[in-house]
Amino acid sequence: MKKLLLFAFLLLASYSNVFAYLTQGHFRWRNNDGTETTATWKAGQDTAIKITDHKAIRLRIEISNSNNIVKNNGRELQYATSVNGPWSTISNASEINAFNYV
């Protein structure tokens, strides 16, 4: 019985280290008025903003991998304009997305 419990424990311990644990940390909105180092901030860290025009803005997001395992798991960055969705995948097609990669 002890061997079975030890096996189950080791199996669970190794299973938890197989996957990358990605979490969103902080975010910050930025104006589109300069380079990566000279553009001004639109608001403080982790502060929501109200968009009143259709000018381009930037969003910086911190993503953390808590167990440092590198794995391509096919995740995509998505956004929604409502709490209930629908969710749209961000791509380089700026004519169909509210956001795009630059």
pLDDT tens digits for range 8-60: 655 555 555 555 577 788 999 999 999 888 999 999 999 999 888 888 888 88
Per the listing, tokens 């956001």 go with: 99
pTM above 0.75, yes or no: no
What is each CA distance from 1 to 6, 34, 44, 45, in whole angstroms? 9, 65, 56, 52
Per residue in 67-81, pLDDT (tens digit) is 766 666 667 788 888
Question: Whats the size of the chain, residue-wise?
Answer: 102
